[in-house]
Amino acid sequence: MKLVIVTAVEEFQKEVLKLFKKANIQNLSSSDIDGHKTGPSVTMASSWFPGEQFGNESRLFFSFAEDENIDALFGLLKEFNTNVETNNPIKAVVVPIEKSI
């Protein structure tokens, strides 16, 4: 069992949930987060307060899952990202679990 963590912009929430389900990962948790990028952007340059940095509304998903389900999810995420017309692809990482209760 491993911990899979996925981050995505808010607009992709429904799609990410579908991909978890398609990968047969039925139990997961999610949370609202603010995503930030460093460096100049059009939004920051055109802001009334260009010194302020604003976050993108994003979602964090995580689940304890088996390797084969995580492999399936990664394949689905890679496919999804190849068809996305944005510079905010879905990101995912896997963390091994040493102990659990």
pTM of the model: 0.81
Identify the burial level of 84 via C-beta atoms within 10 angstroms of its C-beta, where 0-12 means exposed, 13-18 middle and 19 or more buried: middle
pLDDT averaged over every residue in the chain: 86
CATH class of the domain defined by 2-96 = alpha beta
Place of tokens 């963390």: 95
- Among 32, 19, 10, smallest CA distance to 70 is for 19
Give yes or no for a contact between 97 and 3, defined as CB atoms under 8 angstroms apart: yes
Span 48-73, pLDDT tens digits: 445 555 567 899 999 999 999 999 99
pLDDT at residue 44 tops 70: no
